[in-house]
Amino acid sequence: MELDLEKRRGRSQQLVAGLRRAIESGRLLPGSRLPSTRGVAADLGLARGTVTSAYHRLIAEGYLESAQGSGTRVVVAPHGEARGRQPSSLHARSPWQWNLRPGLPDVTMFPRNAWVRSTQRVLRLAPAEALDYGDPRGRPELRQALADYLGRTRGVITQPERIIICHGFTQALGLIAAVLAEQGMDTVSVEDPCYPLFRNVIETAGLSVHPVGVDAQGLRPEALRGRAAVVTPIHQYPLGATLAPGRRKDLVAWAEEADAVIVEDDYDGEFQFGRQRVGALQALAPHRVIYAGTTSKTLAPGLRLAWLAVPAEWVERIATAKRVADQHSAALTQMVLADLLRSGGYDRHVRRCRERYRVRREQLSTALEREVPGAWLAGEEAGLHALVRWSPDGPGEREVTQAARRESLAVATLGGYWGTPGPHPPGLVVGYATPPQHGYAGALGALVRVLGRCFAA
Ligand X SMILES: Cc1ncc(COP(=O)(O)O)c(C=O)c1O
Q: Which residues bind ligand X (CB under 6 A)?
A: 103, 168-170, 195, 232, 237, 265, 267, 294, 296, 301, 306
What CA–CA distance (Å, rounded) separates 173 from 206?
13
Q: Give 55 or 195: the residue with its C-beta nearer to ligand X.
A: 195
CB of 168 to ligand X, least distance (A): 3
CB of 197 to ligand X, least distance (A): 8
CB 142 within 8 A of CB 160: no
Q: Give 303 or 447: the residue with its C-beta nearer to ligand X.
A: 303
What CA–CA distance (Å, rounded) separates 99 from 440?
9
Buried b (16+ CB within 10 A) or exposed e, 3-35: bebeeeeebbbbbbbbbbebbbeeebebeeebe
CB 75 within 8 A of CB 322: no
Strands 409-410 and 98-99: parallel
Q: Give 199 or 227: the residue with its C-beta nearer to ligand X.
A: 199
Q: Give 103 or 442: the residue with its C-beta nearer to ligand X.
A: 103
Q: How far is CA 251 from CA 176, 215, 276, in A?
A: 19, 15, 22
Q: Give 168 or 286: the residue with its C-beta nearer to ligand X.
A: 168
What CA–CA distance (Å, rounded) separates 387 from 385?
7
Closest Cα partner for 142 from 334, 285, 309, 294? 334
CB of 266 to ligand X, least distance (A): 9
CB 77 within 8 A of CB 29: yes
CB of 433 to ligand X, least distance (A): 12
Q: Which residues pair with 165 in a beta bridge?
A: 307
CB of 25 to ligand X, least distance (A): 36
Q: Tell me the residue nearest to ligand X as measured from the CB.
A: 168
Please, what is the Cα angle at 272 between 137 and 62, to 5 degrees?
Answer: 80
Q: In 3-state terms, what secondary structure has residue 401?
A: helix
Q: Give 80 or 168: the residue with its C-beta nearer to ligand X.
A: 168
Q: Give 64 or 194: the residue with its C-beta nearer to ligand X.
A: 194
Q: Give 28 or 340: the residue with its C-beta nearer to ligand X.
A: 340
CB of 176 to ligand X, least distance (A): 13
Q: Give 270 or 407: the residue with its C-beta nearer to ligand X.
A: 270
CB of 209 to ligand X, least distance (A): 15
CB of 71 to ligand X, least distance (A): 33
CB of 293 to ligand X, least distance (A): 9
Phi, psi of 66 (to 5 degrees): -130, 135
The CA R_g of the chain, rounded to the nearest whole Å, is 24
What CA–CA distance (Å, rounded) separates 279 from 242?
11
